[in-house]
Structure 1
Amino acid sequence: MYRATRNSVDTSESSTDDSTGPDTAAPSVPPAPARGARPGWRRWAMDTRPLRRPAYRRLWSSTIVTSVGSQLTAVAVPKQIYDITGSSAWVGYASLAGLLPLVVFALWGGAIADSMDRRKLLLITNSGIAVTSLLFWTQAVTGVDSVFVLMALLALQQAFFGLNSPARTASIARLVPADELPAANALGSTVMQTGLVAGPLLAGALIPVIGLSELYLLDALALCATVWAVVRLPALPPLTTPASGRAGWRAIAEGFRYISLHKVLLLSFLADIIAMVLGMPRALFPQLAAQTYAPYGEGLALGLLFAAIPIGAVAGGLMSGTFSRARRHGLMVIAAVVAWGAAVTGFGLSTNLWIAVAFLAAAGVADMVSMVFRGAILLSAVTDEMRGRMQGVFTVVVAGGPRLADVLHGTAGSVFGARAAVAGGGLLVVVATLALAFATPALRTYRI
């Protein structure tokens, strides 16, 4: 339900020349001292170069705590709603209640992140998320038992998250040099994916011991680590004055116009939409667990299916040294999305649970690679005054794509059967991505 200054790009550059990323390395974020190739297995292990940057290290370290804490709330809210109503439909309605605020405030938050000090915006929004978690805890311990109160708090939380996410991600490009952006994205994504695995497991273990309400309190306490990390960041004011003057609808419209003039950005968004809308099969996991993999135990099968993709993503992050130094970012995105589609196809064709889980884990590795290089493109191919708005659009795409996939796959599964819907979606991802790559060369030729 939930999930150092840099030089600006010469804006006179032709919008159709997206084959090479701009030089965004800042004098105050110098490249790390040159080192020889890492010996043996270390060449394949996680690329930790960005952790040598104190500001990035503080921000990343706080994410270790909050990625788990946020999942405690992500488990507690649907559990509490189901306990109150006894209806899974209400759990779904609550998810939709958080979607609209997320979309609206992510777009607006991107514009705000381009017009004010991003450190200040992060302080405000992280504090707001922490207060919302305290309100979740308050309603739980006082026994309010109102679905509408929970949905209102969820909408408020997602609004703060929408404001926070663009500023947080856009700030990374001011904390590490351009050649370390893939490694920084891999580090952050690995922590978040680890939280997706460890958080729900921890929540399941804690609810019988301390109760559901205390999960909200633990999340609020974890957010204090993020607030403290942000306090210690350097100031991150805009490098230039936004042309629109302030963060309004005009500024948001400028962001969409910027995307339309830079093909590599538009294509990176399209690649993610293709992968997630056509190839995210999670809505069919319950049906597959109950039908195809029932002999293995429905509960075991369902848990493994939901855990497999995040586990694969974590494995991919731990091996980020194998790909983080690649310079052809666009080609890496295309290859990763094609690999995702192929792995999803293999999953749909599998009748053996363990083979199916292996295919989903492989899909998770491919998704990690795709996330790393799509994120790097959005940070390296964009001028600093536009990074917040681009990250706002990115947040909307990442949040909205899987929800559309749930509707599409759920409908297709009812008509064609679950396995056919999954395999067909994976094949469509492969075909559509290759067609996109060959029809428009801007993405496949993009490099830093």
Structure 2
Amino acid sequence: MLDLLRRRPAFRRLWMAGTVSLVGDWLAFVAVSRLALDHGGGALALVGILAAHSLPHACLSPIAGFVADRFDRRRLLVGIPLVQAAFTLAMALAAAAGALVSLQVLVLVRSAFTAFMVPAETAALRHTVEPPELLQANAIVSGTWSVTFVAGMALGGVLAALGPVPAILVDACSFFLAAGLASGLPSLRPEGEREPRAAGVWGLVRAVPPELWEALGHARARPALFRAVFSKVPCAVAGGMGWVSVNLLADQAAPFGAAAVSLGILQSVRGLGTGLGPLGISLLARGKEEPGRPLEHAAALVTFASVAGFALVRPWPLLLLGIALLWGIGGGSNWVLTSASLQRLAPDVMIGRLSSIDDLSTTTTMVVGALLAALLVEASFSLVAIGAMGAAVGLVSWIALSLRRAEAPLSSGAPGVAPAPRI
């Protein structure tokens, strides 16, 4: 896998920029969350920080996908981190003053710009490797997420001990470094791009719904592409319900000592699995441009089985670790396989919008799954029952998606797939 980084300098730059930014994000998240608790905000303030990190990303995904299909992706990958760096420096000032409300507002605004990075990175990646290398490239990206999660959280804990300001300043530096790395990429303008249909910011915003509808119609008429866009959804809804089970089980049973320690261990092991799964997929599908549906089915089934079995092995801590690892392996493999398929099948002029639909649907269904599980807890359902329901909902959704056939496109005149030039 490391050979791909050596042979593809553009992919190496893209990967390094994303890695640096991820580490900064995780360590700042720890620092800001710690500040919320230290200032007496309690759980509500902590939830506010979490919401500020995630909600703008999901809500702005459709606009972000539209932008990635209209403008040079290189300029986005350089410009957005610079804007984020500026807001992060302002966050450091707010943290130094102990202004928690101002800090949350700044996190909210900065997170809004983060939404524009996902489709831009997705659209750019396919230009940096050959088609048979897409699966391997996505495996590297997924494995890196797993490593940066552990490293960023650990480094964040160390820096947070010195106070939140140093961690936030390091995060700001990471954005400047990411922008510098991305500036070395060549121009990545969308192929077959068209002139914007309306001028000005409001004109672009008004153009988003029909453009998104056009991309969805293009996918609906092509079952393989439609599955690539929505195949994370079944695992996301099951994972959202399972996430509630993990937190409650750690709190109630504390299988590894204190509840916080137990939760940290379980989540770390699951994070390790998200890196090992893609690595295994990359080895199994080496040299294949299309790994085949059996691997996708296997990844989904492992995820559903893990969600269903997690609470069942509650009395046995070692089995809990094994199930958590398998859960991560299944989820990480699902992410890599579906992301590679999307990059392989989507027209370059539409991949930003299709990636944003993927991102929005995955985030939304995960939250819906977690909310459904919370309601079931309030209704006195057991964790075993919640896990079984989560697995069942995910499995039924997966079967429905797999059996889906082509439909008439929602919009005519969608551009065809053009091969992307490699750098």
TM-score by shorter chain over 0.5: yes
- 1:322 is aligned to 284
Q: What SS does structure 2 have at the residue aligned with 1:291? A: helix
Deviations along 1:109-158, whole A, 9 cap, x unmatched?
Answer: 111111111101111111112212111111112x14232x2232122112
Shift of 1:50: 5.0
**How do residues 223-372 of structure 1 correspond to structure 2 at under 5 angstroms?**
223-242=175-194, 245=197, 247=204, 248-249=207-208, 250-280=210-240, 281-294=242-255, 296-319=257-280, 320-326=282-288, 327-351=290-314, 352-372=316-336
- The whole-number CA distance in structure 2 between the counterparts of 1:106 and 1:163 is 7
Question: Contact (CA 8 Å) 2:305, 2:391: kept in 1 or not?
Answer: yes
Question: Contact (CA 8 Å) 2:146, 2:272: kept in 1 or not?
Answer: yes
- The whole-number CA distance in structure 1 between the counterparts of 2:23 and 2:100 is 26
- The whole-number CA distance in structure 2 between the counterparts of 1:405 and 1:337 is 16
Deviations along 1:363-404, whole A, 9 cap, x unmatched?
Answer: 111112111111111111111100111112222233333322
**In the alignment, structure 1 residue 157 sits paired with structure 2 residue 110:** yes
Deviations along 1:269-313, whole A, 9 cap, x unmatched?
Answer: 443111111233222333211323457442332111221211111
Shift of 1:97: 4.0
- 1:428 is aligned to 393
Instruction: Figure out how many residues of one structure are paired with residues of the other and give that number.
Output: 393
- Assess, with a 3 A threshold, how the Cα gap between structure 1 residues 331 and 132 changes in structure 2: closer, same or farther: farther
- The whole-number CA distance in structure 2 between the counterparts of 1:290 and 1:104 is 31
Shift of 1:261: 2.8
Shift of 1:431: 4.3
**AA in 1 matched with 2:214:** E
- The whole-number CA distance in structure 1 between the counterparts of 2:337 and 2:129 is 15
CA RMSD of aligned residues (A): 2.3
Question: Contact (CA 8 Å) 2:233, 2:365: kept in 1 or not?
Answer: yes
- The whole-number CA distance in structure 2 between the counterparts of 1:261 and 1:218 is 46
**In the alignment, structure 1 residue 181 sits paired with structure 2 residue 146:** no
- Percent identity reads 25
- The whole-number CA distance in structure 2 between the counterparts of 1:295 and 1:82 is 24
Shift of 1:181: 0.5
- 2:157 is aligned to 204
Q: What SS does structure 1 have at the residue aligned with 2:310? A: helix
Question: Contact (CA 8 Å) 2:85, 2:172: kept in 1 or not?
Answer: yes
Q: What SS does structure 2 have at the residue aligned with 1:371? A: helix
Give structure 1 stretches of 5+ with no counterpart.
1-45, 443-448
- The whole-number CA distance in structure 2 between the counterparts of 1:388 and 1:340 is 27
**AA in 2 matched with 1:126:** P
Q: What SS does structure 1 have at the residue aligned with 2:129? A: coil
- 1:137 is aligned to 92
Candidates 113, 116, 133, aligned match of 2:71? 116
- The whole-number CA distance in structure 2 between the counterparts of 1:400 and 1:324 is 33
Farther-moved stretch of structure 1 (96-105 vs 409-418): 96-105
Shift of 1:191: 0.7
Question: Contact (CA 8 Å) 2:245, 2:311: kept in 1 or not?
Answer: no
Give structure 2 stretches of 5+ with no counterpart.
199-203, 407-423
Question: Contact (CA 8 Å) 2:230, 2:361: kept in 1 or not?
Answer: no
Normalised by the size of structure 2, how large is the TM-score? 0.86
- The whole-number CA distance in structure 1 between the counterparts of 2:150 and 2:256 is 24
Q: What SS does structure 1 have at the residue aligned with 2:324? A: helix
Q: What SS does structure 1 have at the residue aligned with 2:189? A: coil
- The whole-number CA distance in structure 1 between the counterparts of 2:2 and 2:278 is 9
Question: Contact (CA 8 Å) 2:74, 2:182: kept in 1 or not?
Answer: yes
- Assess, with a 3 A threshold, how the Cα gap between structure 1 residues 244 and 258 changes in structure 2: closer, same or farther: farther
- The whole-number CA distance in structure 2 between the counterparts of 1:311 and 1:158 is 25
Candidates 58, 67, 79, aligned match of 2:34? 79
Farther-moved stretch of structure 1 (163-172 vs 280-289): 280-289
